[in-house]
Structure 1
Amino acid sequence: MTSISALAVAALLATNTNPQFEGHWGGELDLGPAQLRIEIILEETDGSWSGELVSVDQGNARVPATRVTVENDRVIVDLSAAGARYEAELLPGGTLDGEFHQAGQVFELDMSALAADTDPEPAATSDDRDQEFSVSNGDVTLAGALRLPEGDGPFPAVVIISGSGPQDRDMTVGEHRVFATLAAHLADAGFAILRLDDRGVGGSDAVIPHHPQVIADDMGAALDALRSHPSTQGQCVGYVGHSEGGSLAFLAASRSQPDFILSLAGMHASMAETLIEQGEALVRASGGGDADVAAQRAVQDVVMTAMRDSPVGEAGPAIEAGLVEAGLPQQIAQQQAMIWGQAYAQNALDLDPASAMQAYEGPVSAIFGGSDLQVLADNMSARVSAARTDQPTRLRTLAGHNHLLQQESSGLPAGYTSAQHAISPVALEAIEEELGALINLACQ
């Protein structure tokens, strides 16, 4: 549930030009037991190149390029925040023949140009009604955008909490801007919406969180700031959390006392439980059988045991050694150790969301995607219901919707970037309805 990236701010440097490199590229990084989908976005402006890597299967984590070098038919994308570099040659057929370098290892990574965006919602993601907004939590400052409805207010309001891995304020997935689309719809419906760049992304400070409670405290500070803003004047203010953000909303509630919580495809099990359920669902949806599921579970057990048995922040060597002993190639073991040996992952592994859900007394609504393979709707709905037996709780599942609440029936992560909408019109209407119901329960 962590990302391929460390955190950094991009530095853009001028180099040679070759307009054929400009655009959105995609490919798969072969890690042996799994393939990691990678996208790279390259842009050229007045001879200066900028770039960004998107790790689609790791929460769409984004790593800004620190330097993009274009020399004739070759490109080098330096990603110092992740300790990585991508080097590629542009072939006559318009594909990139490349290598991904990280942690002393080299992985083949060929990329093809991705199709142009077909999302028919450019007006919904327009920024002309956004106000820049900053939130301070101790020594850390988060940058974001506040979208307000037309009129004078005061307005009911929400803080959007993103899921696993560092996300920008828009939750950009390929060419889709999920949170920007959501904010635009909800502002038109009369809600004030605050969305933020996570730590180390966009304009926010690059201070790596070591525990989910750190992010929850950031969101508590955000809700306090929004509640005191002139546009709300203490009106009904709550959280909308997506994926892990659904769980973080409950962790934040003890500090900030939100009037309500709306969870979207929320992760309401421990990370360990979620990864096991998610892993089996993805393997089976990709055509795997019982043996494939068992093989993946064995690898997961090795990684999780090492995480539990190692001091926080020091699990990497144990993970690597365990995976090598289990038969994985050294370079794959190293890659997995980098991902899962982080302090945040260790602290999050067995954190149980049930107690936080039980402790929160305000009204809650949870919307799940019926085709979601990352957060299984039936399993998570049952956990929410069990934790909140005597508290006001609404549960809703949207048939044929994936983890991003797009209408995409396969549920596979490959559908996130190719779906027609950033978030489906059906889901937008459902979210609006649930927010209205929550506000009526909490504040009327």
Structure 2
Amino acid sequence: TGSGRQNRDEELFGHKPFAVIADYFAKKGIATLRIDDRGIGGSSQGKDDDTTANFATDISTAVDFLAAKGYLNIGLIGHSEGGMIAPIVAKMNNKVKFLVLMAAPGTKIEELLIQQNYLGGKLAGMTEKDLAEANVMNKKIYDFIKSYSGTTYEEDLKKFMTENFQGKMSKEELTQTISQTKKNWFRYFIKFNPDEYLSTIKIPVLALNGSLDFQVPAKENLEAIQQSLTKAGNKNFKTEELTGLNHLFQEAKTGAFAEYADIEQTISPKALAGMADWIAKLKK
């Protein structure tokens, strides 16, 4: 699943995309295993210092579970942060035979977040002046996190944020930013470079992205994924930008965050067919 705690259906904004994918795949003869993230549904509570790397071990265990039951043609579908997790798992577990990456990051996460914040703000109506100021602030925060080498991170983060941004952010914004960036998950996330894993992947890979995705912009990230897989010497991969789809692979008007819950469609039929048809061809 993507970032945040989600159940086995990747339930969000009133939609259950993983349930829809599983149902469509079943009708095409493709079985699926879905699990609840740590801290939700039937899974264990998890810990406050969990990171993307911890989540990868959960998925690797799920792969081993299937392999122990005799399944051989096991692949992973990762959406958003799940598209970071899938290559990590493929590198650590040779039982993974193919990957489907849905809106997966290909560029360095720091670069991705800068672009995501800019595009999201623009869609929300922010002025270029405000967007530029926010960009400078975000870059400054990310640089602090990436270069921090002390032993009292949370305390030093609060001091840094207060000294640099009090008056530039509202009290609520300052508190919210500190709450997000103090987490171990975010510290791991901001330093992550997908190329470190993608450039080692030689199994078949399908990477899809929507042209209206502002969270993981299609052009830059699909190009980066293609470059990494080419560097790996991967002979069987496909990258495709799907016109008119947003980050959740819904048919959208602008791709803005505000549309996610308002769109009735959970996931576009062309995304479903693209994944199922590609997987089916692997069996031939």
Q: What's the TM-score once normalised by structure 2's chain length?
A: 0.91
Summarize deviations over 1:268-308 as a string: whole Å, max 9, x none. 22321111111111122223343122111122123213322
Q: How does 1:79-98 map to 2 (within 5 A)?
A: none
| Selected match of 1:344 from 182, 185, 191 | 185
**Code of the aligned partner of 1:343:** N
Distance 1:381 1:312, change over 3 A: farther
Contact 2:106 2:195 in 1 (8 A): yes
> What residue number does 2:213 align with?
372
1:432 aligns with 2:270: no
Distance 2:243 2:118 in 1: 20
| Selected match of 2:240 from 396, 401, 405 | 396
| Selected match of 1:303 from 141, 144, 147 | 141
Contact 2:207 2:239 in 1 (8 A): yes
Deviation for aligned residue 1:312: 8.3
| Selected match of 1:235 from 72, 90, 109 | 72
- Name the structure, 1 or 2, with higher relative contact order (CA <8 Å, separation 6+): 2
> What residue number does 2:123 align with?
285
The structure whose residues are more often strand, as a share, is 1
1:179 aligns with 2:18: yes
**Code of the aligned partner of 2:93:** S
Summarize deviations over 1:144-183 as a string: whole Å, max 9, x none. xxxxxxxxxxxxxxxxxx1111111111123211111111
Q: Secondary structure at the match of 1:195?
A: coil
Q: How does 1:252-267 map to 2 (within 5 A)?
A: 252-257=89-94, 258-267=96-105
Contact 2:106 2:221 in 1 (8 A): yes
Distance 2:277 2:150 in 1: 42
Deviation for aligned residue 1:238: 0.7
**Code of the aligned partner of 1:221:** T
**Code of the aligned partner of 2:241:** T
Contact 1:368 1:377 in 2 (8 A): yes
Deviation for aligned residue 1:218: 1.0
Q: What's the TM-score once normalised by structure 1's chain length?
A: 0.59
**Code of the aligned partner of 1:253:** A
> What residue number does 2:113 align with?
275
Q: Secondary structure at the match of 2:249?
A: coil
**Code of the aligned partner of 2:187:** Q
> What residue number does 1:163 align with?
2
1:247 aligns with 2:87: no
Summarize deviations over 1:120-141 as a string: whole Å, max 9, x none. xxxxxxxxxxxxxxxxxxxxxx
> What residue number does 1:385 align with?
226
Contact 2:120 2:257 in 1 (8 A): no
Contact 2:13 2:261 in 1 (8 A): yes
1:363 aligns with 2:207: no
The structure whose residues are more often helix, as a share, is 2
**Code of the aligned partner of 2:129:** A
> What residue number does 1:417 align with?
261
Summarize deviations over 1:37-80 as a string: whole Å, max 9, x none. xxxxxxxxxxxxxxxxxxxxxxxxxxxxxxxxxxxxxxxxxxxx
Contact 1:219 1:252 in 2 (8 A): yes
Deviation for aligned residue 1:336: 1.2
Distance 2:99 2:180 in 1: 30
Distance 2:150 2:68 in 1: 37
Distance 2:113 2:265 in 1: 27
> What residue number does 1:408 align with?
252
Distance 1:299 1:320, change over 3 A: farther
Q: How does 1:97-108 map to 2 (within 5 A)?
A: none
Distance 1:178 1:275 in 2: 24
Equivalent pairs: percent with the same residue?
25
Contact 2:114 2:139 in 1 (8 A): no
Deviation for aligned residue 1:241: 0.4
Q: Secondary structure at the match of 1:214?
A: helix
Distance 2:199 2:128 in 1: 36
Q: Secondary structure at the match of 1:388?
A: helix
> What residue number does 1:87 align with?
none
Q: How does 1:119-134 map to 2 (within 5 A)?
A: none
Contact 1:319 1:336 in 2 (8 A): no
Q: Which structure has the greater CA radius of gyration?
A: 1
Distance 1:164 1:363, change over 3 A: same
Distance 1:200 1:395 in 2: 33
Contact 1:284 1:293 in 2 (8 A): yes
Contact 1:320 1:336 in 2 (8 A): no
**Code of the aligned partner of 1:416:** Y
Contact 1:313 1:341 in 2 (8 A): no
Distance 1:173 1:313 in 2: 36
RMSD of aligned Cα (Å)? 1.8
Provide the aligned length of Structure 1 versus Structure 2. Answer: 276
Contact 1:316 1:338 in 2 (8 A): no
Q: Secondary structure at the match of 1:262?
A: strand
Distance 1:386 1:329, change over 3 A: same
1:330 aligns with 2:174: no
